[in-house]
Structure 1
Amino acid sequence: MGDDGPTGVHCRLDELLAARSMTLTELGERVGMSIVNLSILKNDRARAIRFSTLVAICDVLECEVGELLVRSPPER
C-alpha cells in the first residue's frame, strides 16, 4: 500500500457530529483545529493524526477513539 492508497481506517466524524447536532466549525473552534484539517480527517484522506488531537476530538465529542476511528473493509 502506497501513501496515496486507502488506509483501511474510516473516520466516523460526520456521524458523531450529526448525533450531537454539532457542526464541523464548532468542533474546530472547540478543538483548536482548522476546518480544512478536520475535513481531511472527516473525508478519510488523513494519513496520520497526533494522539493529542485525537484525544481533544474525543473529549469534545464525548466518545472513545474506537467510536471515531474504525477499520474499513478491504477494497477488492
Structure 2
Amino acid sequence: MPIIVNLDVMLARRKMRSKELAARIGLTEQNVSLLKSGKVKGIRFETLERICTVLQCQPGDILEYEGEHAPARLDEPAA
C-alpha cells in the first residue's frame, strides 16, 4: 500500500504507549493497534486531529505517501 502509517514512530518519539494514546483520544487499544499496523482503510479527520493534538505533531508526521509517483524526499539522493 502506498500510504505508510508512522504512528509507532511518533509514539516512540513521544515516549508514549499505545494504551495511553488510546485513552487520551477515546479509541480502543485494538483500534490504535490497527492504525499502527496500517490495517485500516481510512481514518476520520476528527481522529487524526486528536492524535496530532496529543502527540503534538502534524498529519504528515504520521502518514506518508510512498507510491510510484511520490515526490523525492529531501534526504534521498536524486536518481
TM-score in same-fold range (> 0.5): yes
Q: Which runs of 5+ in 1 are unaligned?
A: 1-5
Which residue, 52, 58, 61 being the options, matches 1:64?
Answer: 58
Query: 1:28 offset after TM fit, Å?
Result: 0.3
RMSD over aligned CA atoms reads 1.0
Match of 1:42 in 2: 36
SS at match of 1:48: coil
Q: Which moved further from structure 2: 50-59 or 65-74? A: 65-74
Match of 2:46 in 1: 52
Query: 1:72 offset after TM fit, Å?
Result: 2.5
Per-residue deviation, residues 8-58 of structure 1 (Å, max 9, x unmatched)? 111111110011110000000000111111111100111011110000000
Q: Would you say how many aligned residue pairs link Structure 1 and Structure 2?
A: 68
Query: 1:73 offset after TM fit, Å?
Result: 4.3
Q: Which runs of 5+ in 2 are unaligned?
A: 69-79
Structure of larger gyration radius: 2
Q: Give the Cα separation in 1 of the matches to 2:7 and 2:39.
A: 13
Match of 1:25 in 2: 19
Identity %: 38
